[in-house]
Chain A
Amino acid sequence: MIDPATASAQWRVATVTAIRDETSEVKTITFDVPGWPGHLAGQHVDIRLTAEDGYVAQRSYSIASAAGPGPSIELTVAAVPDGEVSEFLHQELRVGDLIELRGPIGGYFAWSADHDYGLLLIAGGSGIVPLMAMLRSRAQAGANKPARLLYSSRTADQIIYRDELDRLAGRNDGFVLTHTLTRGAPPDWSGERGRIGRVMLTRRHFLPAGSPDTYVCGPTTFVETVVENLVAMGHLAGRIRTERFGPTGEFR
């Protein structure tokens, strides 16, 4: 019998099987991972890169693909300016390359369609990635409890998974999609404009009634602001799960 903890902690050699552009700054990489123990939506993996002289860099990336047994998983990676690992993944990585990774990691910012009490998802930028895994898992499982996504992007061409999100919203299975753009919208834009606040959250029915599971992922200041608004609206702090990336804006 394989202990699940040991299986997740073990480094595996994965093969890159596909690389595709999501936006000009974001790519999705598909890996074949022999022995992958399966994952839940929202979990992440660690990647380990090793230079010829033994120098090592590790980073964590959210899994984008739906929950399942593998052995194929997808990671969606945003290019971080001057990022040691993301720059390599964007510019150097090719199909057929071998990459060490381990996981799945994280049992908290995770969701399973087996326990569907309704979902409120709020994403900023590439914070969409673990939430997309939840939406994909939800569709794959045929779940139909209400689910809402409010997704903040700077501009329309920086929206990740735009076509697929539209397709998911067209399934009429209880999923409602709202985009907001913070740095200007095209003339025919029908979504929200500007940063997420209490008015927008209320207008889009991100309400505490029914205590839905709430997941917020994005840059630190984005998550802080959204969560403060949710708590002020009466959401129970214990139902809000957060994942932040990047430094705090209020460092002093």
Chain B
Amino acid sequence: MLVTRGFKGKRRGAAGDWRRLPPGQFFTPEFPVLTAGPTQHTPTDRWTLTLQHGGTLLGSWSWDQFTALPQTELVTDIHCVTKWTKFDTRWRGVTIDGILRAAGIATPPTAYLMAHCDGGYTTNLLLSDLIDRQAMIATHFDDLPLLPSHGGPARLLVPHLYFWKSAKWVRRLAFREEDKPGFWESLGYHIRGDPWREQRYEGDR
């Protein structure tokens, strides 16, 4: 540990809050927007979500069908790899368990998925990071429809991983035979991205 001469830090918030911060993060009351390219605007009457494995379609939902699935509310902290953490964000959507159930999948075909989004963004995920109410496809933030700039009409929410895994404008979940890197993961970011292990970049353990 190299002590930085003259650095004291501001340590905002209560001491208990610091323990909720993964290493290297700071907390913000704002909700910053970070995206590699333009914001996508998909009207809900042209929105579908599909679940597939190779060439096999496992499930497909229109907006009305999707929003009729059982809804779950999740209050959670979120952690962006650019260092901000936001406490107690409140989301509503359909858990990945609920999506698999709606598709009638009792036994998932593989342990790996790729999320595909409007605009071409992809991110790879382990099935074990999605099930057991850990993750959802969210349509609401603070009881309001998700704004396009924050990933609306629907985004993936995997709050225990860095937030680039919570892909905005998600449209397709595809089971894969292997854990192949998605967009940021092939541009130097970590393949899994656990903030508590500070897995920011390729090369972090």
Contact = CB atoms under 8 A, between A and B. Distances in A.
Given A54-B1, A108-B36, A252-B144, A9 B23 contact: no
A79 to B, nearest CB: 14
**Interface footprint category on B:** 35 or more
B32 A247 contact: yes
B203 interface: yes
B188 A51 contact: no
Interface stretch (B3-11, B70-78, B166-174): B3-11
Interface residues of A, number: 54
A139 interface: no
Contacts of A10: 203
Contact of B36 (A49, A99, A242, A250): A242
Contacts, number: 134
B82 interface: yes
A134 to B, nearest CB: 17
B43 interface: no
A57 B200 CA distance: 15
Nearest to A3: B203
Contacts of A97: 4-6
Interface string A236-248: 0110111011111
B149 A224 contact: yes
A92 B187 CA distance: 34
A51 B4 contact: yes
A65 interface: no
Interface in A115-174: none
Contacts of A100: 2, 4
Contacts of A56: 23-24
Interface in A21-66: 46, 48-52, 54-60
Interface in A58-116: 58-60, 82, 84, 88, 92-93, 97-100, 105-109
Nearest to A43: B188
Contacts of A227: 37-39
17 contacts: A7-B203, A9-B202, A52-B3, A57-B7, A84-B9, A84-B10, A84-B26, A98-B5, A105-B201, A108-B36, A108-B183, A237-B38, A238-B37, A238-B120, A240-B37, A241-B36, A241-B37
Interface of B: 1-12, 23-26, 28, 30-39, 82-83, 119-120, 142, 144, 147, 149-150, 183-184, 187-188, 200-204
In order of increasing CB-CB distance, the 8 nearest A-B pairs are A9-B203, A247-B30, A5-B202, A107-B187, A5-B203, A58-B24, A92-B6, A248-B33
